[in-house]
Amino acid sequence: MTTTSARPGGGIEPPPPAPAHLRVERVERRFGDVYALRDVNLSVERGQIAVIIGGSGAGKTTLLKILIGLDRPTRGAVYLDGVDLASLKDRELNEFRKKLGMVFQYSALLDSMNVLDNVAFPLREHRKLKESEVRARVSEKLRALGLPAVENRYPSELSGGMRKRVALARALMLEPEVILYDEPTSGLDPITSRRVDDMILETRDKFGVTSVVISHDMASALHIADCVHLLAEGRIVASGGPREIVHSPHPLVRQFLDSSGIAASRLVRDRP
């Protein structure tokens, strides 16, 4: 639906900009004297991929915990669909969390369970469905992610890249609006890392999710991001699209680009 309206002068007023799907506003997280985050601002539009990149101790995990409502900021606010997470009571927050899917670092699959039981876990916890329906939904998701007929395998029988896909299938089971990936390429070889990047892009295209990726992998960030945010000592020190980041004069951005070891100009996906 268009929301244009006629102006008194005869012109057409443009529609107001869509509100950000996820918005972090002036977030601070302090632990005693240590500021893990200071004045962090960022917004992610619906369907976009934001990559938050930073070195060790930059504040990535702290920000991730705040985004999923596991921790609260000492100042500032996080809004999802315009709703302030801090305004929610515990039960409401639990309900709200179903809008967020999380793919943990190293996948965090339960080794004692086969793929079916791992992926079905959130459905069995939160939805009252017949077992046949649970199995059908699990198989459908696995197929959509390019993993047919792995339901009876155990995590130890899968490659790192396959485990990541299984973890993503599990995160998608409750049909979240936002997917958060914690260091999705860490511990993977470069070829598998690029496949995981493609998986993140395909998931956005197929399921229309908004994605937040926490990473220290600049090659991956430049390949998948609509917007890259560089976090250092608890602050976002540079933000921009891949092309802007590649040309940024910021010394920390340059350091990340140089240490990625590949010619930066070759890393950016061609876009229209």
| Residues lying near ligand ATP in the complex (CB under 6 A) | 31, 34, 36, 54, 56-62
Q: What residue has token string 């229209």?
A: 272
114, with CB counted inside 10 A (0-12, 13-18, 19+), is middle
Nearest distance, CB of residue 260 and ligand ATP, angstroms: 16
Size of the residue set binding Mg ion (CB under 5 A) = 2
Which partner, Mg ion, ligand ATP, none, binds residue 36 by CB below 5 to 8 Å per kind? ligand ATP
Nearest distance, CB of residue 103 and Mg ion, angstroms: 15
Site string for Mg ion, 42-71 (x = CB under 5 A): ------------------xx----------
Question: Based on CB atoms, which residue is closest to Mg ion, 61 or 255?
Answer: 61
Which partner, Mg ion, ligand ATP, none, binds residue 62 by CB below 5 to 8 Å per kind? ligand ATP
Distance CA 64, CA 76 (A): 15
Longest dimension (CA), the chain: 69
Distance CA 11, CA 186 (A): 52
Distance CA 97, CA 78 (A): 13
Question: Based on CB atoms, which residue is closest to ligand ATP, 114 or 239?
Answer: 239
Tokens of 153: 């395998």
Distance CA 90, CA 96 (A): 10
Which partner, ligand ATP, Mg ion, none, binds residue 161 by CB below 5 to 8 Å per kind? none
The footprint of Mg ion (CB under 5 A) covers 60-61
